[in-house]
Structure 1
């Protein structure tokens, strides 16, 4: 029987072009027991994907682990390289999206079916886009799949026509009509703007479904919620280890049984250090067939990356390759089953075997050894523990705040405190006044030439004189000062520093020129 989708025509070319400003295509994948993952349909038809990209989308759109207990839909994201030469950027305004990457947003559904070999029908609906708008696209997918089959031609055509009617993506606020409602949507001038999508006290205190449906969707807000993620942590203090690694643009592997948990965690981690852009390669979810994992020893691993994986043998391959190439071992955060009694401090015993490390391959060390700089805030950790348990006193200043908002606000403030010495240094130097008028290389590599206004020696002298609001480890002042200087020195040689400075100066230029749009 011929596929009914083949008879659908998405309309005039101008509608296809308008649709492409936001989305490349909808793709439905089916898991064939005999052949593996396969494409069931692509809409609009004749979207010019290469065979290699279609294959990559297929493999990344399914969980690698079969779990018969999964009865609810899973939502997750993946990112692949754009190897389709005819899939180009078409948006006339910033943000244009990425010409080199394709972002996948998925809803995976598993339904019991005794008529097939594995007794389960597994399908995934994907939105493929050049734009990294996961919060918006997951809203779209949930509305499309909540009450209908994935390949319903009427739903696909209706969704296409609505999205084709949207205005071109641009910085500012938008009202996007979609399937009987309007999605309030906002695009920040930069993806690294902090605290995007932070829920207001009014929304937190309201249980109204209408209030939630009217919530403003931010383009770059995280799809992960710390209230759901932290119970999977080995300890709350692990947040400070991860924060430090992210600030310094070091590699992190998120290891879990669920692609949803992986991608939500990666999203939440990138958000943790904003407004510092995490300048490494970022892959929310990867499988053994992913291009990244197939990298041979002759080509090497990326020097810095943040990835989510569920396959223990892939973890073993990456860690083994890092050791073989003499690259700093990536930090591994293993997310076990949810545990409401998450401890504040992890146990350091190398022999400890608990639910957070049981999935590691035999003989692999699950522990991470690295030098720490920032001191764990015990008061913060205790407050998070009480919020998770629901035992926080009503008189506490954070009693009316949810865990996710509290964690994001805390680390947003900590990042601002970390950056404050740089802002003070630039403001106090004569050269800083002319920095925004000085051409600088559009690169985030640590070996790029120094900006004319910045001297590490002068900055450290300013840091020593004025200090910082961040509390560093060490029993004596001299130890704390050494830890402080070591971390700031490491940050200044990392890609994150160049990415942050480029963002800062670029936005200042645009603001001065009045180029930051206000949207609709």
Structure 2
């Protein structure tokens, strides 16, 4: 069903026409810019090229991109390496793009796919090969796509097409690619898009917030499909979960709870690829709930937030960091949860699983793989799931199949936890019968933790999940987290918008002209001003109201004004 009414379509078409006259407007819907970062013997890591040339990056952002675009020296990455990072905007940055609830894309996109308001993503393709023509003996360069969109799979795949070609043909190749992207249709949820680049057409579908998980076209068992010159990507953002979690499968319940509660966690990985993919896999494991804490898939000591995060304090910030430099183990020893990942080891056809260890056993530099924490899970492990996945390893099942099992398990777990909250929140909405056109809409009842906890006895997770454990304790802890705060704010905003829509419908169903017959001019003018305010709010917040309804309200206002004396009519028409 098309959610945009005729009015919004008109506004959208006007915006598209306006965009066509702005240089790089279509390009900027996908990417902020493309950067080339190289190693200079005198300067160190330095930006060699930014395209388009007039891209607006602050000096601080450029410096951060330089440091984040190269693997740490401890990683020892030779050949081609792909990873990604997340960078906070500079304070005071001015953007020409609207964000937040008023942004048309964000209104329709799933929460986890919305544009970032305060962060950039950097998608990196790094090449390090021996080159005797270079003083240092190595060619070292990164091609970086900078975007506000969390389309990890799409942009990583795009880099695989353009980066090798760029390293061979340099700037003219990059200019041609950017011009092609500037012809792409804008990212629009629920639509399948064809995106041509370098002789290949990438076909992608952007999920919308109305998509149901079981109806999603994304199947983890699918890989990219070649159809002549077209390439069908099964997902724009999902990673291979099994590949990311294969050494910690027996602790998946522990990791899910740490993410749900937004606990501070450092992931120490052997490479920026493992670091960034593991961090994003952790963030996505509570999907469709949005992870509302800060997270950095790849973090270095040169990051401007390093001092903020490394300062010893009683309670570390609620942030998820992916690092590769062992120095961080010493720096973050006071943090409550540290996950150290080594190189994957296979023993007797089974992946060696890391152990949960006490923080006291954490050592600097020579720390062994493991999850160092004192945390005790509220819910019991799903032993049947772990057994099924490990048996899949023995039988050499494809990673995509294993990922499907794991993703569905985590989805069902998150939904079992969130459904009682969704159900309780729905009960706070006033009854539609209490909505009258002549009064201010009734208020949404306040959220009561005690009332919610009491409701769990007959409408708790046990209705959808067989998982045993301390669900009540988990909810109590969740209420203290940023994830609950972010979820509640978004839901309350949705409910408020729905109340506005229902009140508008009640007003339009009423006989306003009859109501005004025995009212004073002051009361009628007051009504007109309130109706105009309602109309403006519907347009400004792009409420999902039918165009016919808004048109009807505009006609009502015009009719009521026409019933007033001419001097008042003139005054109100001026307004």
- Correspondence 1:199 to 2:204: no
Q: Is the 8 A contact 2:249 2:386 kept in 1?
A: yes
Name the CA shift for 1:506/1:455 in 2 (closer, same or farther; >3 Å): same
* Gap runs ≥5 in structure 1: 1-11, 324-328, 393-398, 438-449, 474-479
Query: Contact between 1:30 and 1:37, CA under 8 Å: does it hold in 2?
Result: yes
Give the Cα separation in 1 of the matches to 2:458 and 2:91.
53
Counterpart for residue 275 of structure 2: 262
Alignment of 1:175-214 (within 5 A): 175-189=194-208, 198-199=218-219, 203=222, 209-210=226-227, 214=231
Q: Verify: 1:452 aligned to 2:463, yes or no.
A: no
Distance of 1:101 and 1:41 partners within structure 2: 21
Closer/same/farther in 2, CA of residues 423 and 138 from structure 1, 3 Å limit: same
- Alpha-carbon distance in structure 1 between the residues aligned to 2:211 and 2:74: 35
C-alpha contact 1:374 1:471 (8 A) present in aligned 2: no
Aligned to 2:320: 306
- Alignment partner, residue 378 of structure 1: 383
CA distance, structure 1, for counterparts of residue 331 and residue 479 of structure 2: 31
1:500 aligns with 2:487: yes
Partner of 1:9: none
C-alpha deviation, 1:100, in angstroms: 2.5
Distance in 2 separating the partners of 1:208 and 1:218: 12
Q: Deviations over 1:229-281 (max 9, x none)?
A: 234x2x42221111011111112211102111111111111111011111100
Taking the aligned partners of 1:346 and 1:86, their CA distance within structure 2 comes to 43
Q: State whether structure 2 residue 171 is matched by structure 1 residue 153.
A: yes
Q: Which moved more, 1:78-87 or 1:249-258?
A: 78-87
Cα displacement (A) at 1:210: 3.9
Aligned positions of 1:324-339 closer than 5 A: 329-339=335-345
CA contact (8 A) 1:105 1:127 kept: yes
Counterpart of 1:414? 413
Is the 2:126–2:143 contact (alpha carbons within 8 Å) kept by the matching residues of 1?
Answer: yes
2:140 and 2:189 map into 1 onto residues whose CA distance is 38
Q: Secondary structure at the match of 1:146?
A: helix
Q: 1:365 to 1:404 in 2, by over 3 A?
A: closer
- Deviations 1:34-56 (CA, angstroms, capped at 9, x unpaired): 43111111111132322221111
The equivalent residue for 1:83 is: 90
Q: Aligned residue for 1:326?
A: none
Distance 2:94 2:234 in 1: 27
What residue number does 1:51 align with?
A: 59
Counterparts of 1:367 and 1:431, CA distance in 2: 44
1:12-67 CA distance string (max 9 Å, x none): 97332332222121111112244311111111113232222111110000011355
Displacement of 1:83: 2.0
Shift of residue 433, structure 1, vs aligned partner: 5.3
Quote how far apart the aligned CAs of 1:507 are.
5.3
Residues 157, 352 of structure 1: alpha-carbon distance in 2 compared, 3 angstrom cutoff: same
Q: In structure 2, do the counterparts of structure 1 residues 514 and 157 end up closer, same or farther at CA, with 3 Å as the change threshold?
A: same
2:185 aligned with 1:137: no
Aligned residue in 1 for 2:544: 514
User: TM-score, length-normalised on structure 1?
Assistant: 0.77
The answer to whether residue 254 in structure 2 is matched with residue 229 in structure 1 is: no
State the partner residue of 1:390.
Answer: 395
Q: Is 2:36 the partner of 1:28?
A: yes
Moved more, 96-105 or 207-216: 207-216
Q: Deviations over 1:391-442 (max 9, x none)?
A: 57xxxxxx99611121111111111111122233345x364657xx9xxxxx
Contact 1:136 1:217 in 2 (8 A): no
Question: 1:105 Cα deviation (Å)?
Answer: 0.9
CA distance 1:121–1:379, change in 2 (3 Å): same
Offset, 1:337: 0.6
How much has 1:143 moved relative to structure 2?
1.2
Shift of 1:171: 2.8
Aligned counterpart, 2:475? 488
SS of equivalent to 1:102: strand
- Structure 2 residue aligned with 1:162: 180
Partner Cα separation in structure 2 for residue 114 and residue 281 of structure 1: 42
Is 1:423 the counterpart of 2:416? The answer is no
Residues 1:124 and 2:142 aligned together: yes
Residue in 2 aligned with 1:405? Answer: 404
In the TM superposition, residue 466 of structure 1 has moved relative to its aligned partner by 3.6
Aligned to 1:251: 264
Counterparts of 2:212 and 2:49, CA distance in 1: 36
Number of residue equivalences: 457
CA contact (8 A) 1:252 1:331 kept: yes
Give the RMSD, CA atoms, in angstroms. Answer: 3.8
Cα 1:383–1:359 shift into 2, 3 Å: farther
Secondary structure at 2:291's aligned position in 1?
coil
1:340–1:388 Cα contact (<8 Å) kept: no
1:472, 1:484 within 8 Å by CA — same for their partners in 2? Answer: no
Cross-structure match for 2:14? none
2:340 and 2:229 map into 1 onto residues whose CA distance is 32
In structure 2, distance between residues paired with 1:364 and 1:135 = 27
- The structure with more radius of gyration: 2
The alpha-carbon deviation at position 289 of structure 1 amounts to 0.2
Counterpart position of 2:346: 340
